[in-house]
Chains A and B, each alone.
Chain A
Amino acid sequence: MYGVLALQGAFAAHRRRLAELGISSREVRTPADLAAVEALVMPGGESTTMSNLLGSSGLFDPLAERLAAGMPTFGTCAGMILLADKVLDGRADQRSFGVLDVTVRRNGWGRQLDSFETELDVTGFDGPFHGVFIRAPRVEAVGPDVDVLAFHGDDPVLVAQGALLAAAFHPELTPDPRLHERFVELVGSAAPETEEV
């Protein structure tokens, strides 16, 4: 079963994209929800809000364990921030899981008036992928184990590392299914989660 983190943000759009690929999913708001899923999408939204709710819902620690154990996870926008090793311009008390070896700057492209659309060349895709960036994080550094799958100008905007896929933009807001398909392939090929962390 796929899960979509549903504390706040664009979780319903991700579920629609997955449903179009014939994949049923459930919303994840509690530790019990999390225990029922084998793969997770972490959607866009406000990362400060999600960080708060991860604490109050008791999800932070079990989710950190699952991520460390290798649960396949697709983070978009705020989801990418939550996965990142290092977050710049976040709140002092903002928590992230630190499993993706990237440094991201929150709202690194500016405020809403600087939000934009563009065409992206994604490694392995035949044609361009339409990228919608909403107050998006900017990736400022990537570690040696991270594959950059797309750039906008000189900035990495789509990265992969092991069972993790993370986009600074919003594939759930456009009808193109290819990135969700890429995630489904990743889930299919991922190693089983380790029992002990």
Chain B
Amino acid sequence: MTQRPDPHVTGTFPVKRGLAEMLRGGVIMDVVTPEHARIAEDAGACAVMALERVPADIRRDGGVARMSDPEMIEGIKAAVSIPVMAKVRIGHFVEAQILQSLGVDFVDESEVLTPADEAHHIDKYAFDVPFVCGATSLGEALRRVGEGAALIRSKGEAGTGNIVEAVRHLRSITGDMRKLTQADAAELFDWAKRLQAPLPLVQEVAKAGWLPVPLFCAGGIATPADAALAMQLGAEAVFVGSGIFKSDEPAPRAKAIVEATTHFQDAAILAKVSRGLGTPMTGIGMDELEHHYADRGW
């Protein structure tokens, strides 16, 4: 049909961002075993995050949290057909090289693990695999986009089952985006300075009214209502970590959170799916916390 050889280019930014676009409206679930991964896929997860311990256990155990064992990640990859993500420590580009060589579909440069570099995040343009990074503010989100992140998630406070920090971070990011759309050209220079973010990205947000990549929510979602709250506040998909497998009955809760994320504006459906799910994870108040993971990242 064609005379010219078809180009076939992999690892480009549109291709990385493209997978983030495909995850919109979905739920990405933390899983620690192939069996968990299958429960997540059965429940309708659009992707799974393979890790050795859910954040609530990392918090309980203390010590240094690192990339998971490749064998464990491969076991999860083999168990499901949906995309598999895995976490690396902030700045630990060798862990990212290893995950890329394993063929994971997305790398999370995550504050839930113990940071490896106190000044630098990973140069994500150096990779073919897409990256997701956490952010507490618009400036932090745009710094990560500037480094090549294909997806941003608000950080919240992982492993707490408490949505309050996720709400704070989402409101901060979306609120500042709304303000940027009202700023004039001169004010944008000042915004870039205050946000400590690249000016061209600040100008892009001012014009588009949104980040150049999708914005998801993570950290503290424990119920279908939490997921719908994040979506109504502007998140385009949700990550659920400890909230599912630290609850009484993970499978029905996982399914309910998937349905709540799709039907996030329909209170009657939210009421229906919230019934009879057993006890959610107990959760932790912010004043009881020893470590705020959200403070990690620069």
Question: Which of B12, B81, B258 interacts with A89 by CB under 8 Å?
Answer: B81
The answer on a CB contact under 8 Å between B262 and A53 is yes
The answer on a CB contact under 8 Å between B25 and A134 is no
Which residues of chain B are near A12, meaning CB under 8 Å?
24, 236
Task: With CB as the reference atom, state the residue of chain A lying closest to B18.
Answer: A134
Given contacts A112-B129, A118-B8, contact A46 B1 (CB under 8 A): no
Mark interface residues in B21-44 (1 if CB within 8 Å of A CB, else 0).
Answer: 111111000000000000001011
The answer on a CB contact under 8 Å between B263 and A9 is no
In the complex, whether A24 has a CB less than 8 A from a CB of chain B is no
The answer on a CB contact under 8 Å between B6 and A9 is no
Given contacts A106-B81, A152-B6, contact A115 B15 (CB under 8 A): yes
The answer on a CB contact under 8 Å between A117 and B12 is yes
Mark interface residues in B152-182 (1 if CB within 8 Å of A CB, else 0).
Answer: 0000000000000000000000000000000
The answer on a CB contact under 8 Å between A107 and B263 is no
Total B residues in contact with A, Cβ cutoff 8 Å:
43
Given contacts A117-B15, A121-B1, A134-B22, contact A49 B83 (CB under 8 A): no
Kindly state the separation between the CA atoms of A170 and B15 in the bound complex, as whole angstroms: 10
Distance (Å) between the CB of A170 and the closest chain B CB? 6
Mark interface residues in B115-134 (1 if CB within 8 Å of A CB, else 0).
Answer: 00000000000001110000
In the complex, whether B277 has a CB less than 8 A from a CB of chain A is no
Question: Which of B19, B129, B258, B262 interacts with A29 by CB under 8 Å?
Answer: B262
Question: Which of B82, B103, B263 interacts with A49 by CB under 8 Å?
Answer: B82
In the complex, whether A44 has a CB less than 8 A from a CB of chain B is yes
Which residues of chain A are near B22, meaning CB under 8 Å?
9-10, 44-46, 77-78, 134-135
In the complex, whether B46 has a CB less than 8 A from a CB of chain A is yes
Kindly state the separation between the CA atoms of A173 and B41 in the bound complex, as whole angstroms: 26
Which residues of chain B are near A56, meaning CB under 8 Å?
44, 255, 259
How many pairs, one residue from A and one from B, have CB atoms within 8 Å of each other in the complex? Answer: 139
Most buried by B among A44, A113, A114, A173: A113
The answer on a CB contact under 8 Å between B46 and A53 is no
Kindly state the separation between the CA atoms of A145 and B23 in the bound complex, as whole angstroms: 33
In the complex, whether B9 has a CB less than 8 A from a CB of chain A is yes
Interface hits, A9-55 → B, CB 8 Å: 9-13, 29-30, 44-46, 48-49, 52-53
The answer on a CB contact under 8 Å between B263 and A57 is yes
Closest 6 CB pairs of A and B: A52-B44, A112-B105, A134-B18, A8-B25, A46-B46, A115-B15
List 11 other contacts, CB 8 Å, given A9-B22, A115-B15: A10-B21, A30-B266, A46-B26, A56-B44, A91-B81, A111-B83, A116-B15, A135-B105, A151-B2, A152-B6, A152-B8
Q: List 29 A-B contacts (CB under 8 A).
A: A8-B25, A9-B46, A11-B25, A12-B24, A12-B236, A44-B22, A45-B22, A45-B23, A45-B46, A46-B22, A46-B82, A48-B82, A49-B46, A52-B44, A56-B44, A57-B263, A77-B22, A107-B81, A112-B19, A113-B100, A116-B8, A116-B9, A118-B8, A134-B22, A135-B22, A135-B105, A151-B1, A170-B21, A174-B14
Identify the A interface with B (CB < 8 A).
6-13, 29-30, 44-46, 48-49, 52-53, 56-57, 77-78, 89-91, 106-107, 111-119, 121, 132-135, 150-153, 170, 173-174
